[in-house]
Structure 1
Amino acid sequence: MRSKYSGHVGMFMTTEKPPVAANARSAYYVALDGLRALAVIMVFFQHYGAGRAFVFGWGWTGVDIFFVLSGFLITGILYDSQHRPHRYRDFYIRRTLRIFPLYYAVWIAILLLTPVAQWQWSWRWALWPMYVGNYARFLFLHIPGNPYRFDWITFGPVVNAWFGGPMHLYIGHFWSLCVEEQFYLIWPFVVYQVRRRETLMKICIGVIFVLPLVRWLLSVVLPAPLLHMELFYRSLPTRIDALLIGGLIALCLRGPEQVLVRRIRRPLLAVSAALFVGLYLVSIKLLRLPLEGSASNWIGILGFTLIDAFAAALILECIHPGSLLGRIMSFKPLRALGIVSYGFYVYHDLLHDFYSYFANRYFPKHAYPVTLFVAFSCTVILSTISYRVLERPMLRLKDRFTGQVHTAPRV
């Protein structure tokens, strides 16, 4: 039996087929749908509640879960298909049919709305459709103005006057899609050219251990404004270890190392969490370093690695047969959100100003909870419609034109 992975392989992979038995060679990891839902919920509360509660301020770590999951799944697909005659064609056709339709549909809609919205365009906005928008805020620091202005598109005077203030379309969260797309352009060539599993594992391990040192060196030589604007967090060269941590466990599960990997999943959860808490206490309480979320230097240097190791352990625990976490993440409502998580991620922050305006205009005494409710509900509705009308037809089309499937290792 074959299990066709019909979604965005990596951050938002979904399936349209029921899961097969957990011990089957091609078992579909049901719990990973729930893990995607958890990650996208974390990101949602980061954008809508970081200033309201301390725990919401850590919602950005949901992106790390996505990155590690991407590396895990994409490496598995590439390794399993490396001897297929049309491996490059199959891989890129499937990724194109999954990722591009929704992403570019949003950009086409933005373009068509220009006469009404009167967007304040510049040629630099083209960086986002080219999947390099994650570098936009860093490339033009020499230009006067708010460096964060490339994370949103400002409406024209007519719309702003109607709403009584400046309104924006938020696109800054697309940065993680850019990072993933850049990874997709590089990693297939490495896997297909190197081929040997042991060599690929050495590459992953080497990058994982070297990158914290690279980030430390960069923290010394780079200007402070670049670091404060989350350069480490948003750039593929400084985040590729997150993707390769996922890739490493995928490769381990395809060899004799799988026994060891299964055994260390819970110790890895505990040790990575304990080390991060220790790093936090030393940095904040002892060294009095500032806590600036994902822009904190101490998080960027060592914290990312520990967070990504924790995410890898979460994945291993989710896919382990009979695990409690796996059963929790297989809860149907979570899985339902996980299936549409790509659209949820794309849409969730776009209309942030409009949800806030509605809540403050009509429910001023309860504006914040109403904003959360309206934003979450509308995003679920939009992403569900998007999945059924746009994404699912593309999923069927990609399975028709290519034969590449993901065969999961036995665990």
Structure 2
Amino acid sequence: MSRLPGLDLLRAIAIVWVMFFHAQGAGLGSPWSPMSQFGWMGVDLFFALSGYLIGWQLLRPLSQGRLPDFKDFYLRRALRVLPAFWAVLALYLLWPAFRERPGLEQGWQFFTFTLNLLIDYEHNKAFSHAWSLCVEEHFYLLFPLLAIALTRRPALWKGAGATLALVLAGIALRAWVWNDLDDNANHWVERIYYPTWMRLDGLLFGVALAALRAYRPRGWDAMMRRSGWLALAGVAVLALAIFLSQQRLGFVASVFGFPVVSLAMALLVAAGASEQRWTGHLRVPGAAWLAAASFSLYLIHKGAFALMAGAYGEVLETRPLLAFFAYAGAALAGGAALHYLIERPFLRWRERLIRRRAQAPAASEAAAA
């Protein structure tokens, strides 16, 4: 799938929003709180983008009667995620000053992507933002099997029914767990915010977009011609989500907020995916680079904030404008280093491996002939 400026812009917005959210905890200060208060929603935007892009990658061949190349799929995912992730994990394990909080979970939880299910958030907050990567990895492992099962005899009612059932199940599960919670915010994070089964809405709505594109191309094209209205609807639903999430740990936000946020993000992703209208071609200077480096920035930004706070935190505490540039510069420098030294070389190696795998059957056929 060719890159669209509209989707790059959304990815850039997501990573900047998330970094604002985490920077306040690092010491950025209250003047930036309107930007940072709802920055956690940037993760839901990442989920919607991932659901759409990965969903399209797998559902497109299935809609044409072909099985996806699963070796290719998992090779791409592994070389996309693991090198940069392991590099940052090594920093957290070996360099205590890099940790934004003193406590760090054991390494095996990161290697097995079970951090979001087993974390003791009250005592081990360092590198806790890897929880979303765990959700993504669980999605990569399970969705291909689910996609094959649902598309053996594809029908609109199957997809719509599965989507509705999962959304309602998530609402019911969060309501049940919330009613059993105490007032400890750390327990809310552990039992409602982090677990994979609680955070499927964004991925689910993104996959629904991919399924619509793959199996109802005429309906998709008609929707793409109205992408401006999709963007407007996305902004309106996002405003509703922000209203519902004013009390982030409350019942309404915990139970109903996540699907509303995810619906808003899916509408924005649909608008950004339009190849026919301005929403898919909207360019903002710097957005393409932020989008390309967003994974590296996500992994390293809290560690970069920790280093900046440890070295200059007291000086920056009373200088909000200087603090903004200091923390932003630290995150961008760290993200750029990780992106260019680790992420991009492995992505290039991945493309070479994929090309070799694609050329191997042709070479074998030529030799046999």
Instruction: Tell me if TM exceeds 0.5.
Output: yes
Give the unaligned 5+ runs of structure 1: 4-26, 141-146, 153-170, 285-290, 406-411
Q: How does 1:12-411 map to 2 (within 5 A)?
A: 27-49=2-24, 52=30, 53-82=33-62, 87-113=69-95, 124-137=106-119, 140=120, 147-152=121-126, 171-196=127-152, 197-198=154-155, 199-225=158-184, 228-229=188-189, 231-254=191-214, 255=216, 256-259=218-221, 261-262=223-224, 269-270=231-232, 274=236, 277=239, 291-293=246-248, 295-321=249-275, 323-328=277-282, 330-362=283-315, 365-366=318-319, 368-402=320-354
TM (normalized to structure 2)?
A: 0.80
Deviations 1:303-324 (A, max 9, x none): 1111111111111111224544
SS in 1 for 2:3: coil
The 8 Å contact of residues 268 and 310 in structure 1, kept in 2 or not, is answered as no
The 8 Å contact of residues 276 and 303 in structure 1, kept in 2 or not, is answered as no
Give the Cα–Cα distance (whole angstroms) in 2 for the partners of residues 120 and 60 of structure 1. Answer: 22
AA in 1 matched with 2:326: V
AA in 1 matched with 2:335: S
The 8 Å contact of residues 103 and 124 in structure 2, kept in 1 or not, is answered as no
Aligned residues: 343
TM (normalized to structure 1)?
A: 0.73
Give the unaligned 5+ runs of structure 2: 359-369
Q: CA 1:272–1:381 in 2, change beyond 3 Å: closer, same or farther? A: closer
The 8 Å contact of residues 238 and 264 in structure 2, kept in 1 or not, is answered as no
Give the Cα–Cα distance (whole angstroms) in 1 for the partners of residues 139 and 274 of structure 2. Answer: 27
Q: CA 1:307–1:112 in 2, change beyond 3 Å: closer, same or farther? A: closer
What residue in structure 2 maps to residue 155 of structure 1? none
Identical residues among aligned pairs (%): 23
The 8 Å contact of residues 65 and 311 in structure 1, kept in 2 or not, is answered as yes
Deviations 1:11-49 (A, max 9, x none): xxxxxxxxxxxxxxxx43232122111100000111113
The 8 Å contact of residues 204 and 248 in structure 1, kept in 2 or not, is answered as yes
What residue in structure 2 maps to residue 167 of structure 1? none
CA RMSD of aligned residues (A): 3.3
Deviation at 1:123, TM superposition (A): 7.0
